[in-house]
Structure formats: structure tokens, C-alpha cells
Structure 1
């Protein structure tokens, strides 16, 4: 039997509006006639050789309509003759008195029996990339379709929704991200236009409007990595908190948190998620730009925090812009530092396209901070977001030479950098 029996009819090539009936075809698959009394035992012995297709039965009525026998359908890719059975399978069939002679059964193969990549591979132009990869955010699947896939976008969305249990909405992300509010333009390809979703990450539940806030399901490992460095009684100052993926788990682990986000929608959902996870008493929330947060609430809190013994953590997860905010720490505090000050630890995220990502983010961090960080920091690779583009986290103790100033060189707080619009920060891969 040829593998082509598993492929949809060639007539579906180029289809842009999904016609499920067009995928229906009849194929002949090998089968064994098995006495009903040993059927379960035979199925266990042949589990590697029986047909495995979505929605297809592996056992059907005997063609001779005998109640004493059933037909066990076999995988035509694995079984083409009786010699295809392994020694163990052949021995089992003999022990159960099952004749190894193959029959052929005509089976109707429909759209429901095909996998998403098979449908899309049959529809999209030959020789071009076919992807069914997406990121899942609750009931939403979001994709980054390439130009050659756009004529088929609604069909692709429908196939993804049909083939993925629990997905009721498929969206396509455009290639523009608003770096100010970190949300992106999207269009609904299939399903309901309900963007309010619920997700669970590392045991914490979050709710938000996916169309108006930033959420990346591929950062769960990084969120967990940083939160595990935070101890009960520590303080976390989250400059770009989003809907709370660092702030809320840190609060649940016993930290005191000041969480800020410029996006009013993120701020609203951050407060909602604090209540949802019963940590509102541990998290103080702010709706300020990052520089105003550093030079306002953070500046007010740091002197007292640095006199304590608990650690202070500053999280700056805005990789498109965060390094530009490091200069806000220059001369933030004016008093002379005691020698035993408990200096904050900073976790600052950035994208890098440089061949030497580590050196690149250290050099740029040093330039923004106005202080050399070489040999005074560590750099952690977070994830690859595009070819030759990585997300990195530089971690360092905020130098007292930067934080404390004995002169009046500190400038007035400036406005947040002008909104930048840049290409989407991630590529889509399968989840």
C-alpha cells in the first residue's frame, strides 16, 4: 500500500474556503479476520500494526457478517503482506489460531480523519512552507502567518480550530508591536471574537484581554527561574509588570511586591489577578511609565529597604526598551551610602542580534547605566525569538557608584522614550 492513500485528493490544492466534503475519499486498508473470543488479546499483540487515524475505528464488522468474527484494520504503512508482521506478532497470531492471510477493507477517509498538517499540506502551494504551529493562550490560538499563507488565512484558522480541542478562537498577529503598551494588532481568522481568556502558568491563574495586554506563554520557564531566586520576606520592584507573571508568584512565595505597568489595561488586569490569586495585600500596584516608577515609588522605598537584611529585586522585563531605562538609576539617591548597604539586584531583559549576545547586552547595559558591568554581572539566555535574535537577561547588583550621587547632576525625570514600532518579537513554533 502506498503512503499516498493517506493524502487528501489533489483537487483540494489551492482551496481558500474550507470545503470539508472535498477531502472525502475511499481507501483500501489491510485487515485480519479475528475470532471475537480472542479479539482483545490480538489487539494487544498488534497494537503497533493496527491503523491509527483520528476518528477511525480499528475494529469493524466482518464482511461476511458473521457474529463470531471481526475485522481488525491494519496500518497500510506498516503492513503490506503477512511477512510484514514481526516474529512476536506472527507467533501471537498462531497461538490465537488467527489466519495471517490479509483481506482488504474499503474505508471512507474524511476531513475528520486527517491531521491539521495533512490538510494544510494538501491545500497550500507545493514547495512552500506549511506550518500549523501556534501559541495557545487559554481558548485562543495565535499565529504568525507568513506572506504566502495569507490568502489561506481563514482556512488555516478553521483547520486549527477544528483539530485542536478547546480552541474556540484563532487569531493572526500582524508584524507590528506597540512597544509602549506591548500589545499587537491582530485579526480573528476563525471562531468567536472573545479575547478575554484564562490561563494557568506554574500553578497561578491569570485572566486578561489578550488583544489589549502582553502575554507570552513561552516565558513560563523564565518567570519560574527568577521567582525561585526570591525568598520569603524579600521585596520585588517590578517595573514592567504586565498582568503579573513575576509579581503574583513572587507574592505567593512570601515576597512584598511593588508592581507597575504603563498600560492601563495591564494595570487593571494586574489588580484583578492579584485578587484572583488572593495576594492583593502583598502587592502594591502602580500605573506609571517605567522611569516615573523608578524615580517615584522605587526611590521612596529604597532607602528603608536597603537598611534591612532581606534582598531587594528589581525586574525589568521590557526587552525592546528596558536597557534604555537603566539611566534612571543614575544618582537616584543622594545620601552618602553606608558601607553595609543592601544593594538591589537588577534583572534587565533585552533582545540582541549581535553574534556575541552576552557581550552585546553587557556593553549596552554599561553604556545606559554609565558604569562598566564587565565581570560584575551574569547574562542568561532566555529564548530565541527569531533567526539571529535572542532574548537575554542581564543580572547585576546595582552599583553604589551609580545609585548614590553626591552632586546635582541628576536630571529631571524625562518622559518615557517615544513609542517605537518594531517587527514582531517572536516566531511561531509548535506548542
Structure 2
């Protein structure tokens, strides 16, 4: 393609001046850009001045405001959602890119391109084949904002390093939930947009200052998360007896029966009447991975089956118990749903009663076998206290040095040393020190001052077979030094 003579004559003086200053990388890049402009003058901007303008020079750092969305003042304090009120025009940086290099360039600039819900980042340029690539103003405020790799990519593809401003209309649909809620809630107050998803239900824990906006918050969560048709807020702490909590519907349908899939297993349950925590998926998988075909699992607080059913699918024989009648009902339902009802025997008993009846009855035969026996006690608010049920559980000592049950017991701790705390509490319940005879796994951080831990240990013969009066002689005072238990973390 031949360039017009007049265009060449206009840029030759500038090329000559750049030739005198090759020490500057930016000048050399401008030198290349001038040749491109001379050879393809049709790339000059054809956008109306009101829509597309030159960006500031790299040396000028006034740039674009770092926040993409500054909400209209009238949305502050809104309690009934008005989606139209969030519409606003903002200015974002843009690059004019030849069509033939667009796809490759987008890959090189993926970290700085505009990423907005429901919004195209590549626009047509009227009258030519070039495209306009919209950039994130938080990342790019001037040409000097590009990294070395990004600048080299622009240079290699022959794209002029010349930012333009594009006036973009942002609507409610293009905003993230955090942006909407930050605009509505009073300035300086915490914005909660996080939630636990249980099937079609989004479960939130709102703070007191957010309660006046709960209906709006619920609607925003539904709008921004496809598949969520119900948003609930927990209204009190978990009941330690049945492990459920009261909740109120903030938005959407009042259907509490959820269907979820975790680790290739399907569960159904009434979320308002049983305990389910989607954050424990990794822990369920970790413990089940320890099992081998033919093992036996004694699940003391089974809930709706997140340990019991995967264990049965892995080839283990399972005895699963839960005190909550609703959990017991859904546990049986889920066993049938996953076709493992023949591998799982279910009970609706208190945890101690389950240990002192069903477990006591099954253990003598299991201890004579070669397959491993695992006891799962996932009631972190109280499970450590239930360990005392194993004291003197069996009346007569058997020859079972190789096959004593392995316990996985969960507990919360708000102590500075949560590992030591759970080991000391487990030791106190057993009446036998577990120092040096257990491992401790950090399951998750529940809150800034609360950890969920799992202490795993083989039940000592001295606990399982001795009478309680004899066991008390083996109780050791908790050591002042750090426990020597192996600590494992995620």
C-alpha cells in the first residue's frame, strides 16, 4: 500500500528528530509508530470527538480515575432495588487494533483488558476493519502503565501505543454485586457479598447494620448468581443438639429442599432442618481417601451422609448415626439415592448411646479382623466431649494390637495454639494422654479467632478395655510445652 506523499512529508521531520534520540525506548517505539502511521494513514481516529479522545501523554500522570464506577448519589441508602438508578456513563481507555492481530494481542493483554459482566470488550470501528479494545482503567491509566511484556507485544504486532478515551454506558447488569452493595450501604460500613451456596440456596450471615437492606441484598445476590433462586440469612447460632439453625428468606422462593453434588455424590435434604456445610467438601474427601475396600466406618454424627455415603461407595461397611430425626430421614433417602443402602446401617440415637450400644456390639468382631476400623466424630462443637464414651467400652481385652480403631474427632478452638488445645481436651475426655500418639489437621479457619481442627489417633487399649477407676491412674497432667503431635494443614 502506497502512502500519500503529503503524509510522508509531514512525518519525515519527526522521524529525523527521533533518529537523533535512539537512547529512549519510548522514542524508538514512537519511531516505529510513525512509520506505521505514514504507511497506513487510514488508522487515524474516525470516532466523534464526543466519544473518542486522545489519552494523556505518558509523562502526564493525571490519567483516568482508578475507580471504574462511581455510583450516583441517589442510590445510597436504597432499600428497594431500582436497577435503572445505577446506569452511568464512564470513560475507559481503549486501543485501536488491526483486525488481523486482534486475537493474538488480546491474549498478551488479558490482564489489563476490561472484564465486566455482560459487556463486550472488543468494539467495531466505523468505516474500517480495525477494532477498539477496551482496557481496565484500574490497571491502565496511561501508556506507561503497560508492563514491559505488554509493551513489547504491542510493538511486535505493530499497534500504536496511543490510548484513547471511550465513553461507556454501565448499567446494573454490568456491575458486580460488591459494587452495587457498596453503592447502597452507608459509606465506611462493611459490605457482605459472600455466601455459601447449597444447591439453589445462597446462605448469608448478615451483620446488624446490613439488616435494613436485607431484601435488596438478597435480590442482588440472586441477580448476579445464575441458578440461585433463594437467599436466606442465618438468624441465630447452630443448635448443638440437632445442628441446624433458624433462617429467614431474604429473597426468592421459600423452597428449602436442596439438591447438591459433592465429590461425585448427590445429596438431597431440607436445608432449614439439617446441617450441611459446603466448605467441608475437601475434608470429606480427605478422610474418605484414607479408606480401603473392606474397611468399616463408624460415623457417630453422620448428618445426611457426607462421610458415610462416599465411604460406602468406596467399598466400606458403614454404621451411620444421627440424633436429628430429619438428618436420619435424609440420610436414609440419600443412601437409596446413591444406591448404597445395603452397605450402610443407619441409627437415630444420641452419640454416646450409639457408641455404647451399636459400636460396642460390633467392635469385638471387628477387632479380630484384619480390615481397618475408622470412627468419624464430626460434631466440632461437642465431639471432643463425647470421647469419654470409649472409656472401658469393652469388658474383656482381646488380642488386637494391630487393629485398634482409628478415631477422627473434630473440634473448634479459639486458643492461640489450637493444636495443643484440641489434644489436651481429647486427652481429658479419654482420661489418657495423647501426646506423641496422634496427628492434628487444620480443617479450616471458621473466623479470625476460631479454627476447626481434626485430631486423629488410635484408641489406646488402656482406654478401650480398662475400667474407668483403673484408667484414672494413667491420666497425665497436660504438658506445658507444645504438644508433639504431627500437624497437617491443607
Is the TM value for this pair above 0.5?
Answer: yes
2:36 corresponds to: none
Q: Quick check: 1:7–1:118 contact (8 Å CA) kept in 2?
A: no
Equivalences, count: 405
Q: Which has the higher contact order (CA 8 A, sep 6+)?
A: 1
Contact 2:258 2:270 in 1 (8 A): yes
Structure label with greater radius of gyration:
2
- State whether structure 2 residue 139 is matched by structure 1 residue 75: no
| Residues 83 and 224 of structure 1: CA distance in aligned 2, closer, same or farther (over 3 Å) | closer
Whether the 8 Å CA contact 2:391–2:467 is kept in 1: the answer is: no
Q: In the alignment, which residue of structure 1 is the partner of 2:318?
A: 257
Task: Return the match for 2:127 from 54, 57, 66.
Answer: 66
Structure 1 position 312 matched with structure 2 position 373: yes
Greater CA deviation, 354-363 or 398-407?
Answer: 398-407
From 173, 177, 189, the counterpart of 2:234: 173
Once residues 414 and 151 of structure 2 are traced to their aligned partners in structure 1, the CA distance between those partners, rounded to angstroms, is 55
Residue of structure 2 in register with 1:359 after alignment:
420
Aligned 8 A contact 1:336 1:406 in 2: no
* Change in 2 beyond 3 A, CA 1:252/1:91: same
State how far apart, in whole Å, the 2-side matches of 1:41 and 1:350 are: 52
Cα displacement (A) at 1:23: 0.5
Select 1:188's aligned residue among 249, 258, 263.
249
Supply the distance in 2 between the matched residues of 1:221 and 1:78 (Cα, whole angstroms): 34
Distance change in 2, residues 1:47/1:310 (3 Å): closer
Would you say 1:129 and 2:193 are equivalent positions?
A: no
Matches within 5 A, 1:81-92: 86-92=150-156
Structure 2 length normalisation: TM-score?
Answer: 0.76
The answer to whether the Cα contact below 8 Å between 1:42 and 1:92 also exists between their aligned partners in 2 is no
**Do residues 267 (structure 1) and 328 (structure 2) align?**
yes
Of 82, 105, 118, 1:19 maps to 82
1:53 equivalenced with 2:116 (yes/no): yes
Q: What is the CA-CA distance between 1:29 and the residue it aligns to? A: 3.2
Q: How much does 1:99 deviate? A: 6.1
Superimposed CA distance per residue, residues 364-420 of structure 1 (whole angstroms, 9 cap, x where no aligned partner):
22222222323332222222212222112222222222222469999xxxxxxxxxx
Residue in structure 1 matched with residue 66 of structure 2 by the alignment: 3
For residue 88 of structure 1, report the CA deviation from its aligned partner. 2.6
Other structure's SS at 2:245 match: strand
Report the CA distance shift for 1:183/1:78 in structure 2 as closer, same or farther (over 3 A). closer
Give me the whole-angstrom Cα distance separating, in 1, the residues matched to 2:145 and 2:466.
Answer: 80
RMSD: 2.6
Inter-partner Cα distance in structure 1 for 2:202 and 2:269? 15
Alignment of 1:27-426 (within 5 A): 27-32=90-95, 40=103, 43=106, 47-62=110-125, 65-66=126-127, 68=129, 70-79=131-140, 86-92=150-156, 95=158, 103-338=164-399, 340=401, 342-405=403-466
2:246 match: secondary structure: strand
Secondary structure of 1:6's counterpart equals coil
* Higher strand residue share: 1
* Runs of 5+ unmatched residues, structure 2: 1-63, 472-490
Matched residue of 1:259: which SS? Answer: strand
